[in-house]
Structure 1
Amino acid sequence: MDHAAIATTFLRMCAGGEVRAAFDRYVAADFVHHNAWFPGDRQSLLDAMEQSAASEPNTSFEPRQVIDGGDRVAVLSHLRRADGVTEYAVVHIVRFGAGRIVELWDLGQEIPRDSPNTLGMF
């Protein structure tokens, strides 16, 4: 499986509630995460993703664009919260080492309902 496929499969599994299986299969033991709201270690992100999946099991996650840059992959996705109202454009940047995810950056922006941009976020 190539890096782009691993990144999207990992993100889909996590959004679908298969967080531990996704981490076991794709994430390196020395993984680091760059997000101001969480500690940067593997276990902290795994725990947060499991809690999110348990509290909002009907979250919808749809990758829209994938940019494969070799050991780095960027995934632009459409995330819909379980409330069915709140939507986000999310970018995950994933770095690979030895075929596993070793580093992750994630950025999100809420999609406004009344945006003047008719092209939308995607």
Structure 2
Amino acid sequence: MKLKKTITATLLGLGLMTAISTSPAFAAEKLPAFTDNKQMVEYFWNEVFNKHNTAVIDEMTAHNYIQHNPGFADGRQSFEDGIEGFLKEFPRSKAVIKHIGSDGDLVFIHNHITLNDADRGQAAVDIFRVKDGKIVEHWDVIQDIPATSANNNTMF
């Protein structure tokens, strides 16, 4: 369980900073035109965590980004290095957005993280600050999805 939490914290705590793939399948493409921060972060999230397309990292994140997850250092390179190993170890991982909202320069994503199809997963909220069209800062809170609940509500 501790390893699972550490791995999941790696996934989200990386503040979405990932290693740049050299595979031609992930060649950088021209980014779409975004109308707002929410649309930009949603695109980034899905490319990285659901399509595992890490080529978007350089164009969409600030080099000196600030990380509030205590397990990781500030700066893009620290996170690029960490997520590369995660995606190799868990190639079937995904983080499906259940809710998304924004307030000014902040974007909030409530998501369901799974490491593979059999994983019950975790519920997480990630918060991103965007400045000048780049992700510059990240916070997260993560909790396991239990086998049983004291109520009939889901975590989403």
Question: Taking structure 1 as the reference length, what is the TM-score of the superposition?
Answer: 0.91
Runs (5+) with no aligned partner, structure 1: none
Distance in 1 separating the partners of 2:110 and 2:131: 21
Distance in 2 separating the partners of 1:28 and 1:60: 23
Question: Identity over the aligned pairs, expressed in percent?
Answer: 30
Task: State whether residues 37 and 130 of structure 2, in contact with CA within 8 Å, keep that contact through their aligned partners in structure 1.
Answer: yes
Runs of 4+ in 1 over 4 A off after TM superposition: none
Residue identity matched to 1:77: N
Matches within 5 A, 1:98-117: 98-117=132-151
Runs (5+) with no aligned partner, structure 2: 1-33
- In structure 2, what is the equivalent of residue 87 of structure 1? 121
Distance in 1 separating the partners of 2:151 and 2:43: 30
Instruction: Compute the displacement of 1:55 (Å).
Output: 0.7
Residue among 90, 97, 112 paired with 1:56:
90
- In structure 1, what is the equivalent of residue 102 of structure 2? 68
Equivalent pairs counted in the alignment come to: 121
Aligned Cα root-mean-square deviation (Å)? 1.4
User: SS in structure 1 opposite 2:58?
Assistant: helix
- What's the CA shift string for 1:36-67, capped at 9, x where partnerless? 11112211111111111111010122101111
Instruction: Compute the displacement of 1:83 (Å).
Output: 6.0
More strand by share: 1
Residue among 34, 43, 53 paired with 2:68:
34
Residue identity matched to 1:36: P
Question: Taking structure 2 as the reference length, what is the TM-score of the superposition?
Answer: 0.72
Larger radius of gyration: 2
